[in-house]
Amino acid sequence: MKITSLKIKNFRCFGEIEKQINLSDITTLIGSNSSGKTAALQALQKMFGMTQNERRLVKGDFYVSNEVDINAIKELSLYIEIKIEFPELENEGNDGEYSVPAFFSHFTVDSLDQKPYVRMRLEGNWYSDNTPDGDIQQRLFFINVPDGEEVTEESLLPVSPHQRSKIQMLYVPAIREPIKQLKNASGTILSRILNSISWPEDMNQQIKDEMSSVNDLFNNIEGVDGIKEIIGQHWKKYHSDSRYNEAKLEFNSTTLETILSKIEVQFSPSVESNPYTIDKLGDGLQSLFYLSIVSSLLDVEGKISRDSGAALTILAVEEPENHISPHLLGKVVENLNEISQISNAQVLLTSHSESIIKNISPEDLCHLRIDKSTGSTIVNSIELPSKSADAYTYIKEAIKAYPEVYFAKLVVLGEGDTEEIIIPKLLQVKEISSYDTGISIVPLGGRHVNHMWRLLNQLDIPHITLLDLDLERGGGGWSRIKYVIKELIENGKDRNKLLETDEGILLEDEFNDMHEWEINVTKITSWIEKLESYNVFFSSPIDIDFLMLERFPSEYKETMRIGPRLPDKEEDPDNYRKKVTSSIQATLKNENATGFTYSEEQHELMVWYNSLFLGRGKPSTHIDALAKISDSELIESKRQIIHTFH
């Protein structure tokens, strides 16, 4: 069995409008601080926490709008609901041995051809009274009607303690307490592991018999008897009750309980002569061992324990990256993934770590943010293109490679590696830190940018797009402008406003033929300026590489010890023309290209463009050139790219 959805209303930062979080085998909640990630985990803990204290609602659990006077409130309510599905019903074998019987009588279906599922809801009500915390009533019940139907009292049936205990939640908080959890105290992970062992009924007698020889050994040492006698005599002076008037000094534990209470984990080999215990490990190793002991518990309860009792164990881990070296985080996620594949286990994570998130499939991510107007949480799943679409794999791998986009306050979508070098430099000279301001630069090569727009719009993350105009290149010029307009329309922008011209709104046939329009630089420029109001900018006339070369020709030419040999225009006009023509064709990637929209100076720069950017690595060329350009020169140059971020 698996929990496939979690619905929350009026709990903590989840406001008056119900929010739904879709859950998978390993769901990762991401978002900025205080966006509701911990609240979502604790919502589940209120239903399935291991102790009564974990499950008890308190006044602070009830959402209160910023616009409401808290002192005037007399009553508050909340609910937390889950949907449980049973994939084991489709599998042969006994995977459903522990889950199906406990919930069978509460199955519901939407239609005859749909899979059965179970709805379980926790409702809480707070009432103002004469006490500071007020009075809180809570109840856990099954909802025996399908989703979408009205919930009445007749459709509610209470969940028994036995049924509730079939789902257990292990909560690993962001602040680890491994030393506490590795002591055999009530409710700890180690306690659950040791309690799963079927101890012999006469274990205490066996221990007492075996340990008596240890006491005899100590008693035979000279001076021990004297100390024991003195302690006993002094105790009788203070206490004469016959029940406790004999004080004995024992050198061993004679019961299973006392032995287990002193058990601890030791590590070896150690450079120290004394045992190397958990408290001597660094924070990182302590955190790793904490996660390790959680995995051990699930393994023990699944393989060793004769009666685990749990049909589903939810492992909720807050910020698994805490104190752990980044290169180990992949292994941590791998281990958690293995746990999530157990038929009766499910994993929920929260994280701010790019190293964690890049190892999680985007389909398993859930993005949370706070609505500034209401102060409540907004929930968004990560929606990718259809798996049958060419863009699916590309976008999936792109956002896995740049997981920082989920936390960005502004995303700059660029064409390639060049933007990752130039844009941070331009921001730096404008005294803008991409780290402090939360700006992420993501190169996509211009491919499938519409899907990234859809994703960023869905997550409400502001973004700027910088594309190459590629004038006179295949797919460039009017084709590129048409593509952008079309995708903006599909992303919900006003078509009439986008296609409005001085002569009126373009007809459908006119727009469809835009890619075949005759190249007119003035007309293209007017459309470029129009698209800038939609935060889409073009590196014109070709790309950002040519733009930088054109603005700083000497600095870029100096990066080559031996530059291209361009015949003298006056003395060797034929070879000069031949060299320039071949460079134009190579730059514009077309054997028939003439470069008629470019000036003579730009034609000569294409000779250098081929050597600098097509003949060797672009990043190294830009790094060398930018080192030669002063900050003041970058600021003084009235370039289009500076205007973008001005």
The pLDDT-based confidence of 182 (bands split at 50, 70, 90) is low
Tell me: pLDDT of 322 over 90: no
Three-state SS string across 302-323, please?
HHCCCCCCCCEEEEEEECCCCC
Q: Could you tell me the pLDDT band of residue 92, with boundaries at 50, 70 and 90? A: low
Neighbouring residues of 497: CB distance < 8 A, sequence distance ≥ 6 = none
Q: Which of 155-164, 171-180, 290-299 has the highest mean pLDDT?
A: 155-164
Of 483, 444, 474, 419, nearest to 587 (Cα)? Answer: 474
Residue 642 pLDDT class (50, 70, 90 cuts): very low
Distance CA 67, CA 199 (A): 58
Given phi > 0 = left and psi -120 to 50 = alpha, else beta, which region is 13? alpha
What local confidence, expressed as pLDDT, does residue 183 receive?
65
* Residue of 121 and 292 predicted with greater confidence: 121
Task: Please check whether residues 346 and 417 belong to one and the same domain.
Answer: no
pLDDT of amino acid 645: 39
Query: Which residues lie closer than 8 Å to 449 by C-beta, 6 or more apart?
Result: 413, 465, 467, 487
Q: pLDDT class for 245, splitting at 50, 70, 90?
A: confident
What does the alpha-carbon distance between residue 343 and residue 88 come to, in Å, rounded to a whole number?
8
Question: Does residue 244 sit within a domain?
Answer: no
Question: Can you give the pLDDT at residue 284?
Answer: 78
Q: Could you tell me the CATH number of the domain that includes residue 12?
A: 3.40.50
One domain, residues 126 and 64: yes
Domain for residue 82, yes or no? Answer: yes
Residue 273: the pLDDT is 61
Res 641: pLDDT:
46
Q: What total of structural domains would you count in the chain?
A: 2
What is the arithmetic mean of pLDDT over 319-335? Answer: 87
Q: 122 is in which domain, residue-wise?
A: 2-182+284-363
Residue 575 predicted with pLDDT over 80: yes
* 376 CB-near residues (< 8 Å, 6+ apart): 13, 14, 15, 16, 17, 63, 65, 370
Determine the Cα–Cα distance for residues 639 and 642; give it in Å rounded to an integer: 5
pLDDT value of position 217: 84
Query: Is the pLDDT reported for residue 250 higher than 80?
Result: no
**Residue 269, pLDDT above cutoff 80:** no
Question: Which of the two residues, 192 and 219, has the higher pLDDT score?
Answer: 219
Mean pLDDT (the chain) is 87
Q: Identify whether residues 396 and 302 lie together within a single domain.
A: no
Most confident of 108-122, 197-211, 238-252, 280-294: 108-122
CA distance 346 to 23: 9
Residue 516: which region, alpha, beta or left (left: phi > 0; alpha: psi -120 to 50)? alpha
> What is the reported pLDDT for 311?
85
Q: Say what percent of the chain tops pLDDT 90.
A: 53
Flag whether 6 is in a domain.
Answer: yes
Crossing angle of the two packed helices 618-628 and 417-429, in degrees rounded to 10: 20
Look at residues 363, 393, 409 and tell me which one is the last residue of a structural domain.
363
Say what the pLDDT of residue 97 is.
59
Q: Alpha-carbon distance 500 to 620, whole Å?
A: 43
pLDDT of residue 644: 41
CA distance 187 to 181: 9
Predicted confidence band at 646 (pLDDT cuts at 50, 70, 90)? very low
Query: Which has more pLDDT, 73 or 89?
Result: 73
Query: Is 637 inside any structural domain?
Result: yes
Q: What is the pLDDT of residues 467-497, one digit of tens each?
A: 999 999 999 999 999 999 999 999 999 999 9
Quickly state the pLDDT bin for 639 (edges 50, 70, 90).
very low
CA-closest candidate to residue 103, choices 148, 48, 144, 43: 144
Looking at the structure, tell me whether residues 415 and 312 fall in a common domain. Answer: no
Phi, psi of 605 (to 5 degrees): -65, -25
Instruction: Look at residue 191 and tell me if it is in a domain.
Output: no
Average pLDDT (132-155) is 93
Instruction: Give the confidence band of 96 by pLDDT, cuts at 50, 70, 90.
Output: low
484 in any annotated domain? yes
Angle, CA of 36, 37 and 43, to the nearest 5° = 85
Please answer whether residues 121 and 81 qualify as being in contact, where contact means their C-beta atoms are separated by less than 8 angstroms.
yes
In the beta sheet, which residues pair with residue 410? 439
Is the domain of 155 the same as that of 288? yes
Q: Is the pLDDT of residue 307 over 80?
A: no
pLDDT surpassing 70 at residue 306:
no
Q: Which of 363, 395, 411 is the last residue of a domain?
A: 363
Determine which of 190-194, 372-376, 585-589, 594-598 has the lowest per-residue pLDDT on average.
190-194
State how far the Cα of 631 lies from the Cα of 430, in Å rounded to an integer: 9
Cα–Cα distance for residue pair 469/432, rounded to 1 Å: 27
What is the residue whose two structure tokens read 């519409």?
450
pLDDT category, 37, cuts 50, 70, 90? very high
- CB-CB contact of 466 with 537 (8 Å): yes
Residues 6 or more apart whose Cβ sits within 8 Å of residue 558: 625, 628
Cβ atoms of residues 392 and 385 within 8 Å: yes
Query: What would the pLDDT profile of 428-455 be if each residue is shown by its tens digit?
Result: 888 887 777 789 999 887 778 889 999 9
Q: Is 4 helix (H, G, I), strand (E, B) or coil?
A: strand
Element (H, E) at 642: helix 640-644
Are 323 and 472 members of one domain?
no
226 assigned to some structural domain: no
Confidence tier at 363 by pLDDT (50, 70, 90): very high
Q: Residue 523: its pLDDT value, please?
A: 96
Q: Max CA-CA distance within the chain?
A: 124
Q: Residue 512 — very low, low, confident or very high, per pLDDT cuts 50/70/90?
A: very high
Give the confidence band of 302 by pLDDT, cuts at 50, 70, 90.
low
Domain check: are 558 and 439 in the same one? Answer: yes
Q: Which of 363, 395, 417 is the last residue of a domain?
A: 363
Residue-wise pLDDT tens digits, 528-553: 999 999 999 999 999 999 999 999 99
Predicted local confidence at residue 309, as pLDDT:
61
When pLDDT is cut at 50, 70 and 90, the band that residue 104 belongs to is confident
- The answer to whether residue 603 scores a pLDDT higher than 50 is yes
Q: What is the pLDDT of residue 536?
A: 96
Band of the pLDDT at 272, cuts 50, 70, 90? low
Whether residue 470 is found in the same domain as residue 334: no
If asked whether residues 123 and 173 sit together in one domain, one would say: yes
190 lies in some domain: no
Of 17, 25, 130, 26, residue with least CA distance to 78: 17
Residue 1 has pLDDT above 60, yes or no: yes
Q: Are 307 and 97 in contact (CB under 8 A)?
A: no
Q: 483 and 626: one domain? A: yes
Q: Are residues 576 and 605 in the same domain?
A: yes
Contact between 510 and 495 (Cβ < 8 Å): no
Q: Do residues 322 and 399 both lie within one domain?
A: no
